Amino acid sequence: MKAEDAAEMMDTEQAGNRFKKRAAILIAIMAMFLAVTGLGGQNATKEAINENILASNDFNFFQAKNMRQTSFALAATEIELVALKDPALPAEAKAALEKKLEDYRKTIARYESEPATGEGKKELLVRAKKHEEARDHALKQDPYFDYAEALLQIAIVLISVAIVAEQVWLSFFGAGLGLIGAVLTLNGFLLLVNIPGFG
């Protein structure tokens, strides 16, 4: 073997080692993005479920308040139409019924809106809609994380195969997919761009 051949082999070996090192660093970067993407996707899913439960709770509370309010309204109407119209009703009984009617009306108004506790129908409806908006936001984020996760996993596999097969072009293809996955991850967190078909 000539010295020139040995030097050429060493240069080829060094170039191969440089490629493998760079590819390994690229895999590590992709793995980091994959971990962040997985975390973002899990958090978006948890948030969507949690916000949906909270919205459902508020709507159920709204319905319960509405039913109670309706029953008080019916009772108040009954007092007004039947009991107070009875001419034979003693004055004391009439005063008691008027007091009861006043209490019912206050309760009906309190069920409609109760800013102090935030548990009036009006406040419950606003709160439920906010939970729905938060749920919908999380549901918009989730597909970006899903697709990003798949692309990053494929990128890691392709770059790993590129190392074993010593095919540089395959690592560029994997890096391209990984870059798209990283951009989708970023968009999953920030929702800067709405890509049709993603949610």
Residue of 102, 111, 29, 97 whose CA lies nearest to 69: 111
How many distinct structural domains can be found in the chain? 1
Domain-located, residue 129: yes
Query: Is 38 among the domain residues?
Result: yes
- Whether the per-residue pLDDT at 10 is higher than 90: the answer is no
* 5 domain-assigned: no
d(CA 182, CA 147): 10
- Residue at 112 is within a domain: yes
Residue 160 belongs to domain spanning: 20-190
Token digits of residue 84: 């107070």
Residue 6 has a pLDDT of: 44
Say if pTM beats, i.e. exceeds, 0.75.
yes
Residue 153 lies in a domain: yes
Place of tokens 């006043």: 102
120 part of a folded domain: yes
pLDDT tens for 136-176 read: 999 999 999 999 999 999 999 999 999 999 899 999 999 99
Cβ atoms within 10 Å, residue 167: 14
Q: Is residue 105 part of a domain?
A: yes
